[in-house]
Amino acid sequence: MPHLTSNQRYDIAVMLAAGFLQKEIALAIGKHKSIVSRELQRNSDKRNGNYNSLLAQRKHEERQALKPKAKRFTEAIQQYVNQSLQALYSPEQMVGIAKKRGVPCVSHERIYQYLWQDKRKGGKWHKHLRTKGKRYRKRGASKDKRGIITGRTDISERPPIVEQR
């Protein structure tokens, strides 16, 4: 993997200060020499040209945060999901059918996220689900009243049974 860890960046800074060559540094951290060279070009201080591992790590994290993320839930996929909901398909079925047909689609979890987001905005797409968007009963809840006999007496409250001979 070409990405460097913060520990590897620290090793680069220490070895540079000690006067090691880029080739030797690359060998020590287990990366190719071009990765070390690129790291020094990208993340050295622009004012004085020195390499600082903390500054380099911060620059790396800022670049990662600014990198555009792939938005896969496109307008076409949204239309496919809405049409499938009208046909009363579950999100799992939508994904399965899309895979069989070779149509691009997102995961069933992303479809559920879209439905709950739509519900929070006052939309009605969640009503097309089989459960109509209702939450499931939580198992193991302390307020569960199923299977309890009304008016029962506890065994510990009964009088003891005396054996007669």
Nearest to 52 by CA among 13, 4, 5: 13
Q: Record the pTM.
A: 0.47
Query: Cα–Cα–Cα angle for 109, 106, 86, nearest 5°?
Result: 80
Q: What is the pLDDT of residues 41-79, one digit of tens each?
A: 999 998 998 999 999 999 999 999 988 877 688 889 999
> How is the chain split into domains, by residue range?
6-66, 75-128
Q: What is the pLDDT of residues 115-157, one digit of tens each?
A: 989 989 998 888 888 777 666 666 666 666 677 777 777 777 7
